[in-house]
Amino acid sequence: MTIEEIQEEIIDEFSMFDDWEERYQYMIDLGKTLPLIDEQYKNDDHIIKGCQSKVWVHAEMKDDKVQFTADSDAIITKGIIAILIRVFSDQKPQAIIESNTDFIDQIGLKEHLSPTRANGLVSMIKQIKMYAIAYQTQLN
């Protein structure tokens, strides 16, 4: 699936819920399905700066696509990174770099986060794109 198709799927899933309490619970459930980062990557080299809670992201290239794993010490944050990993993992670096993240506004996520969590979300996206840029540079 393309990044846009996955984003549409997430928008559809979130539209099934009537209120944000249900959406938060869904994010918590998504966090439980997150492909967990290997313990060796839970270090300062892989931590996302700017997050209120601890979030670690690891990326590696497999078959010209970026594979992400992640973890967080907070359940909501773990759900947020799970959504991002779902969107961007197993995609070509150039697709990640060129993608937009409008789906976050469309599901209403940013407006329902505290300012520090919203900043953390921006930091997570920035780090994912930085990994993609690094891998794209290697391919060129």
- Cite the active site residues: 51
The one-letter code for the residue type at 113 is L
- Rounded to an integer, what distance in angstroms lies between the CA atom of residue 73 and that of residue 80? 12
Q: CA dihedral defined by 94, 48, 101, 83, rounded to 10 degrees?
A: 100
Q: Is-contact 112 96, C-beta < 8 A?
A: no
SS3 label, residue 63: coil
Question: Cα(140)–Cα(43) distance, rounded to whole angstroms?
Answer: 29
Contacts of residue 93, Cβ cutoff 8 Å, sequence gap at least 6: 61, 66, 132, 133, 135, 136, 139
The number of residues making up the chain comes to: 140
